[in-house]
Amino acid sequence: MTIPLESTGPTMKDYSSRNICTWCDGCGDYGIWTAVKRTLVEMKISPHEALLCYDVGCHGNMSDKLGGYRMHGLHGRVIPFAAGAKLANPKLKVMAFGGDGASFSEGIGHLVHAIRSHYPIVFVLHNNGNYGLTTGQASALTVKNQPMNTSPNGIPEETLNSMDFIFSLEPTFVARTFSGDIAQMTYVLKEALKHRGFAFIDILQACPTYNRFATHRMLLEKCADLEAEGHNPADFKKARELAVNTAKRISTGILFRREDIPNFYERLVPRQGKTTTPVEEVEKFDVTELMREFV
């Protein structure tokens, strides 16, 4: 007997795909993929109620390994189309996934403006410290002097301090977790989906094939859950300090959160008092003639 989704909520099967995963053995994408599905199922978000947006990168191959609405866009451009979809249909839960290469190079402008605009979406950074899909080039977040495939002597540039940069933009939700901790990733993703505006999640991701400096074992040994230590996520100064200081330990969990800032949609004067969404409002217009101009 088939039990209708409405009475029970979705199951992991509803988010499954027949496509076979092609990530390397031990890749952190497997854990993140599982945590994303688990989050949506545990929050009783059905596939038609969510939109999962992917940038280009190894993580982007997740876009056809899941059920539901998904979009796979151009390198570094995941935030604009995720934000656009959310603003058109605010009823959707929208998550955008990007790698450290794209998000902190081509896509960095979008990240800056997403935080200052406070778009109500979740952004998940797959942070494996290199361009994995293109066989291990150094990204802006690769540790300085780390030998990589195309830079055996290390790169001459300084490593971008991504967390200090994010905190300099006055974000309203910042979390960090790692790809080996499915329970913590699920918790963080759930909290991010409940956030009022732009939620930034840094997932430190093992890339056993090309990242030989942040291995699964190293992350396992260095990551420490802030929640167990009673960290107050309302304390911006402390959160920034914990986020930036990673030499001895890497603090994970919800680093900073505030819910008193209206998001982009809430600030739009023409949307105030509206009970319908923009997609519902355009439905009544017949665009057949207009579309003919483009075929």
Q: How many CB atoms lie within 10 A of CB 71?
A: 15
DSSP state of 23: P
Q: Does 188 bind ligand SF4 (CB under 6 A)?
A: no
Tell me the two tokens of residue 110: 């979008």
Q: Specify the residue, 128 or 263, whose C-beta has the smaller distance to ligand SF4.
A: 128
Q: Is 99 in the site for Mg ion (CB under 5 A)?
A: yes
Q: Measured from the CB of residue 149, what is the shortest distance to ligand SF4 in angstroms? A: 11
Nearer to Mg ion, 90 or 99 (CB): 99
Backbone angles phi, psi at 269, to 5 degrees: -60, -45
Cα dist. 121→86, 184, 201, 253 in Å? 7, 19, 11, 18
Q: Does residue 98 touch Mg ion according to CB under 5 A?
A: no
Q: Which stretch binds Mg ion (CB under 5 A): 112-120, 127-135, 173-181, 283-291?
A: 127-135
For residues 163 to 182, the per-residue mask of contacts with ligand SF4, x marking binding by CB under 6 A and - elsewhere, is: --------------------
Should residue 146 be labelled a site residue for ligand SF4 when binding is judged by CB under 6 A?
no
By C-beta, is 39 or 127 nearer to ligand SF4?
Answer: 127
SS3 105: coil
Q: Enter the tokens of residue 21.
A: 């995963």
Between helix 78-88 and helix 108-117 the angle, nearest 10°, is: 30
Measured distance CA(22)–CA(5) in Å, rounded:
30
d(CA 161, CA 107): 16
In the list Mg ion, ligand SF4, none, the entry touching 58 (Cβ below 5 to 8 angstroms by class) is ligand SF4
- Cα gap 180→215, rounded to integer Å: 10
244 near ligand SF4, rule: CB under 6 A: no
Which of 10, 15, 23, 31 binds ligand SF4 (CB under 6 A)? It is: 23
Minimum distance, C-beta of residue 39 to ligand SF4, in the bound complex (Å): 20
Q: Does 58 bind ligand SF4 (CB under 6 A)?
A: yes
